[in-house]
A = this chain, B = another copy of it.
């Protein structure tokens, strides 16, 4: 008995030692990663690589025909065949790249954006189907007993596989069209101060803006039905359950949101949301001697960094000419990620590059301005490094992103369709020479960089937490058990109104009975 007590004591002691050591012993967890193509992958790769570096066995699922998803020495990859051919993919990408420079009527813009999105997700859902119904591959995945699925719920493949394999899912995302991520995580989002996709409002709205935002929030509910119809169908068909995609993603253990509140407007959040905005700022590439020389040669005027993101590196010649002309008229040197047609008279202060070490160039003391399309990766690199921006939103969430940056007074928005040499010069002049932009940006940057733990460490911590505890059930709100009527207490209100109605009717009935009886008596008496 004494021995038992001693053993118990030793066990408790070791447990406490383990607890006090910070509970880090999930070395060698098995992580399945289902990424989304394009820029989505760029920051998820940072986390996947770090998890692999810390000793986890990371397997990334890669479509046979891909754009940016590449293998790595650190993690394993599993390639799955897709129906789309290399030519089709290339053609679709080219069409997309040209499309962003085509103006659409102002009122129709939201529908054009939607169509582009549906085209993109449509082809990706097809790819997802090839994977899900690839039985040998799915069996192989099942056999590997993964402990965690890291995925971007922007596409249905990851969450559906996590459900099929019974593995807890950690989501890595910027947000989802029509706010389905907020709906799925039971996060309140009052339309009175939480701006909706493409509403063009900030968090401080006047009455007209609130009407517009309210209208957009209703429109989103309809949009959700249209947008996620193919996701719902695929999920229900594959899992052989009457289930919607929203319900599927609602089962995720944790949401790693790729933003913070230096960029996003403050609004209600949920305990299982973790904010890792700026996670991509930690990646670093060496600046070559040639580039360094070009940058240093800019003298006191410094440099302008120009990139339209990972998918758009060229533009129609007449557009490019505007940029070349404007750049020839500024004292700064310009580093431009550009793979399009090169004119003969490229100004001397412009260096065209197929690929830019963007984050490091922005971190260079000579960086004065950043011309960006307004993807969150670029925006966060600008905020991390404190460089004011000239923003040219092209598609997707970019119009909303740049609006957020502009309302903070750290950047200027231009339309790629209406851009002229003058407007571009004006914008560059403002962000470079009007000290208000630089000051506000430095303040924003200081706030963003002032955090108790780096975003990458935070993302790793929570991913490992979900592995250690096989989920994060203690952060899951009970709201998931309620339907819409119950959540808003409408059944309770209805019931109480019914009680009031019944009581009122009963009282009226009583009164009328009493009244009649009285009347009858009086009549009888009169008759008597």
Contacts and interface: CB of A to CB of B under 8 A. Distances in A.
A9 interface: yes
A524 interface: no
Contact of A268 (B262, B269, B446): B269
B445 A489 contact: no
Contacts of A271: 261, 266-267, 269
A272 to B, nearest CB: 7
Given A19-B446, A496-B211, A266 B261 contact: no
Contact of A192 (B191, B270, B476, B488): B488
Given A191-B489, A193-B478, A267-B477, A300 B468 contact: no
A238 interface: no
A230 interface: no
Interface string A480-514: 01100011110111011000000000000000000
A214 interface: yes
A204 interface: yes
A439 to B, nearest CB: 12
A447 interface: yes
Contacts of A5: 299-300
A271 B13 CA distance: 37
Contacts of A365: 8-9, 12-13, 16
B487 A190 contact: yes
B266 A477 contact: yes
Contacts of A487: 190, 192-193
A125 to B, nearest CB: 32
A270 B450 CA distance: 19
A271 B479 CA distance: 20
B450 A23 contact: yes
A476 to B, nearest CB: 6
Interface stretch (A73-81, A306-314, A452-460): A452-460
A210 B475 CA distance: 21
A103 B272 CA distance: 41
A526 interface: no
A210 B478 contact: no
Contact of A492 (B22, B214, B299): B214
Given A365-B9, A450-B465, A477-B203, A270 B269 contact: yes
A265 interface: yes
Contacts of A491: 207, 210
B268 A270 contact: yes
B461 A452 contact: yes
Interface string A1-33: 110110011001101100110110000000000
A188 interface: yes
Nearest to A465: B450
A269 to B, nearest CB: 6
A267 B447 CA distance: 27
Contacts of A452: 453, 457-458, 461-462
Contacts of A357: none
B266 A190 contact: no
Contacts of A191: 489
A449 interface: yes
Contacts of A479: 190, 192-193
Contacts of A461: 452
Interface string A422-451: 000000000000000000001011110110
Contacts of A453: 452-453
A468 B450 CA distance: 9
Contact of A266 (B22, B446, B474): B474
Contact of A190 (B1, B188, B214, B444): B188
Which 8 A-B pairs rank lowest in CB-CB distance, beginning with the nearest? A5-B300, A203-B478, A188-B188, A12-B365, A9-B365, A452-B461, A193-B478, A23-B450
14 contacts: A1-B300, A8-B365, A19-B445, A20-B449, A190-B489, A192-B487, A192-B489, A192-B492, A203-B477, A203-B478, A265-B478, A268-B477, A450-B468, A452-B461
